[in-house]
Structure 1
Amino acid sequence: MAKLGAFYALCPLIDNKYILGVTEDLEKGFVIATLGKNIASRYKISDQKQVSCWRTKEKFSSAVIYDKALGKYGAVFNKSFIKMWESEESLDKLKKYKFNTPIHTIISKNGHSFLVFQNGAVMKLAEALDQRKSLNPKGLDIKEIDDIIYGEMHEDFYFGIIVKTGGNTLYWTRYAEGHTTKFNKIQLDRDLSLIGYAFHPVKNNMNVLILWSDGSIYSYNLQDSYMETPCIGELFTVIDSLSTKHSVSILSLDENYIAMYGANYNEEGAVLVIYNTQFKVTQSKQPFKLFTNNSEIWRVEENLMVPVGQNLAVIPFHLENEQLAALVGSHKIVQDKDSEVRIVQEVDVASWDTKYKMRDRQLPEDLKNQISELITCGLPESIILEETLPEIFKTHDTASLYLCIRHFSDIPEEYLAKILKYTLDLDANYFNEKKSEFVNLPEILQPLERVKILDNIFSRPFSEVLLLPFLRQQLSIGDVSLLLNYICLLWSDDQSTLPHLNSIETESKLLHWSCILIDSNYQKIILSNDKSIRECLGVLNRLIQDHLSCLGDLKVILPMLRNIKKTSQCTDANMLSLRYSVEQLSLY
């Protein structure tokens, strides 16, 4: 199980666009934050106190790191030289270690420091400092490095160079036994935008995860790579908890978890997510009110750090080994069981050898084939809907839309709102001509097929928190008025029930939909002052009052019903609680 703790602010930021990085300090519980091009500070994480601060007139071009081998702090300045120091406060008069090749950055990983040059060459920091006068590192034929990713596995260090000029390209190399291997090239060719990337070790293989603008994450095994590879890997998973319209920072926590930081799926603020790569589920998330594009995520010990607004936020996290128990809700069996507790274990036996059968054979042949193909690929229903609904909307195939709603059980809230809006706006000529016999039904909701689609949408389960922003975005005040009128008609008719629901469940669903329609469009309703919607709200209020009145009557007779039930139980009991009994015996 993975869990994020409550976040808190470590320190204020000068500008979150200029923060150069956060690295580990010499002592545990301390961190080095390079807050800008002229300032870096050391902080104690537990009490958020500043321990020391360094200022410089010459600009930092990398984060300040601590090299355990040299026992010194260091950083790159102006991309041309390095300075190393111990306890000095002023950095302006320190010795400059100049290099013939421009320096891109310094990377520190688990006490090991590496120098990355502008041409992509990678060297140990201590070796580079010793050989700097004669050093002419051979690297890649590239003009500019857009980003760098790095990871560690079995004491080998992997470095990836992201180049976006002339197409997305990943160059990667491995540092092992004191030297780096030749660079391998992976051409990332898709008609989509590259959103995020990270190294992720799994067992004895290092993989690179690539996130695209359609929400799909592809995984590529670096062990199988050749010198130049055009493949983008295999589909690993699809995420829907973050918006892929903006960049997403990805960080590997261990072989079962990754952390992702980016804009929330509804683009209202930011969100930090811990994703379980073994079971392909989101296990913990932390939303934030503010998001800045191109924000990074750093790990220091068991803490994640992200820039949020004008502060550097610290989010503690905890990883456990028993991930499956948290996912399925099971627990270890307690040996000292209460004598009154009876454990009932009921399971459904699945026939795994039986081929999947589609629940509705009335789907059109082309649509059925497309859905079957997507199911074979192992995609969830939410992704299958994303693939099929746009084509249905484009062709105005209302019959297929109705069958899809009946066929799929897991319809995302975003598509519930889209289908609702589409059904209300679509011209009646695209529906079957058969009219609904519902009394007082507004003409705009005719014909019967439109009403059937609405009824099926109303009967679907949903999360109010997820659905509310989509309803606010999709529906107009006219749509809300029309839907509330229809809900009032359904509620007032005792014979009307939603598909697969009884009368009590139907009333509960209609009440739930009434609340969320009003909540999502509250401002529009207040500002419109529309007469028709005021009348509709009055009718809805009377229906609710009648409902509450019935509940009040039931509350009055409840003690009587309990009494009757109790008396019946006593009469039917095998042993009557009497102190004596009278029996008549016939002697003659």
Structure 2
Amino acid sequence: MAALCESFTLCGLSPSSGVGVGLGGGLLALEPGPDPDHVLLTDRGRTTTLFKVSDQKPLGCWSVKHGQILTCPVVCNFETHEYIAVHDDKVLRIWKNDDINLDKVFKATLSAEVHRIHSLPNGGPVVLFRGGGVRTLDVLLEAPQQEIENIISDEVIKWSEAFMEGKHPVLIFTTEKDGDFFVYVQKLKTNTLHKYKLEQQELSKPMSFTAYIKNHIITLLCLYSNDCVYKVLIPLQQNTEEEEQILPKSLLLSLSVSGSVLKGTSFVVLDKDHIAVLGSLTASDEEPKECLTIWNTKFQTLQTSKELPLRTSGQLWCYEEKFFFTHGKVLTVIMYKCETSSLAAAVGKLKDRQTPDVSAFVNWNTLGYEELADSFQSQQSGSLKHESTTDLRSERNAVASVQPDNLSVGKVLLNLKDVPRSIFEDGIRQLMSQAQKLDLQASIGSVVTALTNRCKPHSQYYPRTFMLEIVQTYDLSYSLCPDLMALALERKDLSLLQICLLRFPDIPEEITYACLEMFLSIDEDYLKYTDLDLDSVICYIDIESNNKEVKSEIVENGFSTEQEEGTWDTELTEEGNLTSDGELCPVGVQRAALLNAVLCSAYSEAFLLPHLKNLPAKQAVLFLRYLFYLYVKCSEKINTALPGMSSPTISQIMDWMCVLLDAHFTVIVMLPEAKLFLSSMHKFVRAQVRFYSELNKIEGSLQELQRLHHQKDPQTYSIEVLEII
């Protein structure tokens, strides 16, 4: 199932902004930047801008001088983190982040006009010339004035893209001449060029192209003017000597639904089953409406759409699960998600799966599972990964063949070990569906172990949703599935780690420390897009409070620490979020939720302390500041625990603070950046000791008064004045 998520504006598109372009000019292109969260915008003029998408701010802006014009989108060389641009068709410029004036950077004048530069993460930049010649940047820089062959002569390049086949780049581009369209495939490893001709379509022509490579086959997708998307397969292992082979095409998708037709202008491939199309949706009785749509090519359905009331330029880019397109006078970003395609999701009938809980008690003597075979025989395989009826029938037979009658759970898992991925997941899910008959967690642990063993040799395979569902549904422990948390640490699955820390009662201290170190060191941008349980922090950390002013006076338990013990140092308030009470939280909400999961986990101080000594000093100070923040929150209303679900108690906070100080006392005392914090911490704790000392005196006085009251004769009337010193 595909869905469009939240959207935001990356930048304005006005000539005066200095970071965008006017609608009349539009964007020349949007290319990925040196980091996953960075993009390069090149306008149809003189300027290119580097943006950090999550912060929605420019990191750098470069312009060629007046009279010059960028004729090729600026790209990043991912190997050297340099930027490459072409202006006035032939002038090549290369610079780095710290360069300001492009007149002073590397310059080379080429012998032929450049059409486009494609930069590959592991293959370096590849230069495509307007005459069809192709060179890698390294070869071109050795002799900038080298002669470039003219291959296509009278043809005009319409689109181009580069891929990696193994360790070698492959470039594909399409051309047009007199209504005929041609496809060229250039393999740089062998310096071979193959030319093909697209099969003609009556009364329509291709308007947009995109492609991907898999199993040595290039799949070229063409959006035609008849509102259809066609698929063309081009094998890379081409041995024929035929000069102009005609490529047949097959209909992939018709862009029509319920009497409405989408007039697409551009499109991108999201995965093997989904494409996104930007265009105008027209119906017989309505005015055309521009919209962004996601289509399921497997089941020929429109999955989701978003109306765009302001006009667009017709350009659409897609990077890091985000769409980029112009909308009115701004460049808009929309995040999306695509889940595994299934028939239930395609027709909108997918329901939440309700799996019964199993007993919390382990019966180690009932590992057999005789009812399993009948269940497998009665249920069809839910996988719809093959398109033909024959494939579906053979897959069902394959599922049934690996679980004959009277097999134990262990034997069923052993039979599923080497089957294809789709059959494996079907078998696992059907096994889990019978969990109510098992009466033991050991079998569930065996299933989780089978999943983790399947993931280890396959870096691309990771059924995250399935594993989350299992951990949340069943009462497991670390000892039942010892490889699960190690795999989650390797894949940086923060959601799964958080749930395991809260639910597993027997996590080794080494794993607890590994989680703590990851939670403290992971990048804030990564945390922003991580789905976490925030129930333990939202009751006492105000997400919106970082826009509020810090109070000039801090009141602790009714006493003003500003008057008696000094105030918080203002340097500490420059970082972190602030609560509504004006107190400092040194970490964000997501990181706080993860740290709370660590605080609530069980541990032995003797085994944790050796690992905790390896924590870097900067992270140790950050963790100590957060612990102190929690201690302040617990103390302000004399609470023994923070509000919210799964929140740490004051005992857990104090225990962790003590063990952290034991592990890093000397280092923390010597760090200059920790001195101000330690001073504030000392003052607050001293005020707390004084406050509780006064409470103890009051408690003793009240107990004495109660004792004296019982000793007096109730018939005697007297007035007494008591003074508590």
TM-score, normalisation: structure 2: 0.43
Matched residues in 1 for 2:103 and 2:332: separation?
A: 30
Indicate the RMSD between aligned Cα atoms, in angstroms.
3.3
Q: 1:288 to 1:129 in 2, by over 3 A?
A: same
Q: Deviations over 1:2-57 (max 9, x none)?
A: 22212221111222443111111112211111133111111111121111111222
Is 2:231 the counterpart of 1:219? yes
Q: 1:315 to 1:48 in 2, by over 3 A?
A: same
3-state SS of the aligned residue for 2:41?
A: strand
For 1:32-111, what aligned pairs fall within 5 Å after superposition? Answer: 32-57=40-65, 58-86=68-96, 87-110=98-121
Structure 2 residue aligned with 1:252: 269
Structure 1 residue aligned with 2:131: 119
Which amino acid counterpart does residue 180 of structure 2 have in structure 1? N
Structure 2 residue aligned with 1:3: 3
3-state SS of the aligned residue for 1:326?
A: helix
Correspondent of 2:22 among 15, 25, 33 = 15
In 1, are the aligned partners of 2:231 and 2:251 still within 8 Å (CA)? Answer: yes
3-state SS of the aligned residue for 1:107?
A: strand
For 1:374-389, what aligned pairs fall within 5 Å after superposition? Answer: none
For 1:519-538, what aligned pairs fall within 5 Å after superposition? Answer: none
**Shift, 1:167, TM fit:** 0.9
Matched residues in 1 for 2:61 and 2:190: separation?
A: 34
Structure 2 residue aligned with 1:296: 315
For 1:150-549, what aligned pairs fall within 5 Å after superposition? Answer: 150-151=162-163, 157-175=169-187, 177=189, 179-201=191-213, 205-223=217-235, 227-240=243-256, 248-266=265-283, 268-292=288-312, 295-321=314-340, 323-328=342-347, 329-331=349-351, 333-336=353-356
In 2, are the aligned partners of 1:162 and 1:168 still within 8 Å (CA)? Answer: no
Q: 1:303 to 1:180 in 2, by over 3 A?
A: farther
Matched residues in 1 for 2:200 and 2:163: separation?
A: 20
3-state SS of the aligned residue for 2:73?
A: coil
Q: 1:324 to 1:175 in 2, by over 3 A?
A: farther
In 2, are the aligned partners of 1:243 and 1:263 still within 8 Å (CA)? Answer: no
Q: 1:187 to 1:120 in 2, by over 3 A?
A: farther
**Shift, 1:278, TM fit:** 2.4
Which amino acid counterpart does residue 332 of structure 2 have in structure 1? A
Which amino acid counterpart does residue 42 of structure 1 have in structure 2? L
Which amino acid counterpart does residue 4 of structure 1 have in structure 2? L
Which amino acid counterpart does residue 4 of structure 2 have in structure 1? L
**Shift, 1:313, TM fit:** 1.0
In 1, are the aligned partners of 2:312 and 2:325 still within 8 Å (CA)? Answer: no
Q: 1:326 to 1:250 in 2, by over 3 A?
A: same
**Shift, 1:138, TM fit:** 5.0
Which amino acid counterpart does residue 274 of structure 1 have in structure 2? I
For 1:18-29, what aligned pairs fall within 5 Å after superposition? Answer: 18-29=26-37
**Shift, 1:322, TM fit:** 5.0
Q: 1:187 to 1:158 in 2, by over 3 A?
A: farther
In 1, are the aligned partners of 2:32 and 2:75 still within 8 Å (CA)? Answer: yes
Matched residues in 1 for 2:38 and 2:143: separation?
A: 32
3-state SS of the aligned residue for 1:69?
A: coil
**Shift, 1:288, TM fit:** 0.6
Q: Percent identity?
A: 21
In 2, are the aligned partners of 1:304 and 1:314 still within 8 Å (CA)? Answer: yes
Q: 1:332 to 1:313 in 2, by over 3 A?
A: closer
Q: 1:74 to 1:231 in 2, by over 3 A?
A: closer
Matched residues in 2 for 1:206 and 1:251: separation?
A: 15
Matched residues in 2 for 1:185 and 1:256: separation?
A: 26
Q: 1:201 to 1:68 in 2, by over 3 A?
A: closer
Segments of structure 1 that go 5 or more residues without pairing to the other structure are 339-344, 354-588
3-state SS of the aligned residue for 1:15?
A: coil
Matched residues in 2 for 1:322 and 1:236: separation?
A: 16
Which amino acid counterpart does residue 194 of structure 1 have in structure 2? P
In 2, are the aligned partners of 1:155 and 1:176 still within 8 Å (CA)? Answer: no
3-state SS of the aligned residue for 2:71?
A: coil
**Shift, 1:152, TM fit:** 5.3
In 2, are the aligned partners of 1:38 and 1:55 still within 8 Å (CA)? Answer: yes
Which amino acid counterpart does residue 47 of structure 1 have in structure 2? D
Q: 1:287 to 1:300 in 2, by over 3 A?
A: same
Structure 1 range deviating more: 125-134 or 1-10: 125-134
Which amino acid counterpart does residue 65 of structure 1 have in structure 2? V
In 1, are the aligned partners of 2:209 and 2:223 still within 8 Å (CA)? Answer: yes
Q: Deviations over 1:184-226 (max 9, x none)?
A: 3335342224333221446653221222222222211112986
Q: 1:243 to 1:204 in 2, by over 3 A?
A: farther
Structure 2 residue aligned with 1:465: none
Q: 1:28 to 1:217 in 2, by over 3 A?
A: closer
**Shift, 1:324, TM fit:** 4.1
Matched residues in 2 for 1:103 and 1:2: separation?
A: 38
In 2, are the aligned partners of 1:188 and 1:230 still within 8 Å (CA)? Answer: no
Matched residues in 1 for 2:197 and 2:323: separation?
A: 31
3-state SS of the aligned residue for 1:63?
A: strand
In 1, are the aligned partners of 2:264 and 2:277 still within 8 Å (CA)? Answer: no
Structure 2 residue aligned with 1:498: none
Q: 1:156 to 1:313 in 2, by over 3 A?
A: farther
Structure 1 residue aligned with 2:547: none
In 2, are the aligned partners of 1:128 and 1:135 still within 8 Å (CA)? Answer: no
In 2, are the aligned partners of 1:5 and 1:317 still within 8 Å (CA)? Answer: yes
In 1, are the aligned partners of 2:42 and 2:49 still within 8 Å (CA)? Answer: yes
Q: 1:148 to 1:291 in 2, by over 3 A?
A: farther
3-state SS of the aligned residue for 1:145?
A: strand
TM-score, normalisation: structure 1: 0.53
Which amino acid counterpart does residue 91 of structure 2 have in structure 1? F
In 2, are the aligned partners of 1:151 and 1:199 still within 8 Å (CA)? Answer: no
- Between 1 and 2, higher relative CO (CA 8 Å, sep ≥ 6) is seen in 1
In 2, are the aligned partners of 1:150 and 1:199 still within 8 Å (CA)? Answer: no
Structure 1 residue aligned with 2:479: none
Matched residues in 1 for 2:80 and 2:191: separation?
A: 19
In 2, are the aligned partners of 1:40 and 1:54 still within 8 Å (CA)? Answer: yes
Matched residues in 2 for 1:334 and 1:288: separation?
A: 37
